[in-house]
């Protein structure tokens, strides 16, 4: 009986988490498209990265890294949401998500102090990412356990 209750509780937690995971996946897709637009010069890179990029080579390096980081986060969220067979331990997935939460928190603060209004407005996006990651990772109050 106790085992069934635990499975049922974990299933309920997962169902509450799924809408936030789906929303994050859609946001990651949109952000990735934005980075691809910069990579293909549809959006001038001078308006991004705080105006610090001085060459196409720097832009390719920064944008490629951003795209890979976003795709990796998406992959981790797909595992967390159990959309694919779990092949990575939950602890590792949670650790990665906590690292992203920390990075998005720092990025939010950095964007608030950016020089351009466009980058300042991105603080809302990074704050949204932080909040959604927090809701995915937070402890379940009823069972007092770390979310699986």
Domain boundary assignment for the chain: 2-137
Q: Is 0.85 surpassed by the pTM of this model?
A: no
- Give residue 79's pLDDT: 94
- Looking at residue 75, the DSSP 8-state letter turns out to be H
Q: How confident is the model at residue 144 (pLDDT cuts 50, 70, 90)?
A: very low
- Give residue 17's pLDDT: 81
Q: Is the pLDDT of residue 141 over 80?
A: no
Tell me the range of 59-63, 85-89, 119-123 where mean pLDDT is highest. 59-63
Q: 90 forms bridges with which residues in the sheet?
A: none
The answer to whether residues 134 and 123 touch, using CB atoms and an 8 Å cutoff, is no
Q: How confident is the model at residue 49 (pLDDT cuts 50, 70, 90)?
A: confident
- Give residue 3's pLDDT: 56
- Give residue 145's pLDDT: 47
Q: Provide the 10 A C-beta neighbour count for residue 47.
A: 13
Q: 49's torsion region: left (phi>0), alpha (psi -120 to 50) or beta?
A: left
Identify the residue with better confidence: 5 or 129.
129
Identify the residue with better confidence: 146 or 143.
146
């Amino acid at each position: 009986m106790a085992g069934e209750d635990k499975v049922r509780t974990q299933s309920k937690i997962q169902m509450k988490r799924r809408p936030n995971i789906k929303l994050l996946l859609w946001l990651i897709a949109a952000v990735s498209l934005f980075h691809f637009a910069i990579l293909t010069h549809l959006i001038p890179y001078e308006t991004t990265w705080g105006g610090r990029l001085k060459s196409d080579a720097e832009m390719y390096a920064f944008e490629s890294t951003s795209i890979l980081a976003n795709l990796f986060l998406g992959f981790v969220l797909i595992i967390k949401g159990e959309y694919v067979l779990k092949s990575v331990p939950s602890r590792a997935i949670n650790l990665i998500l906590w690292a992203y939460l920390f990075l998005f928190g720092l990025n939010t603060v950095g964007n608030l102090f950016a020089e351009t209004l466009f980058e300042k407005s991105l603080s809302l996006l990074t704050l949204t990412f932080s909040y959604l990651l927090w809701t995915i990772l937070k402890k379940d109050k009823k069972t007092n356990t770390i979310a699986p």
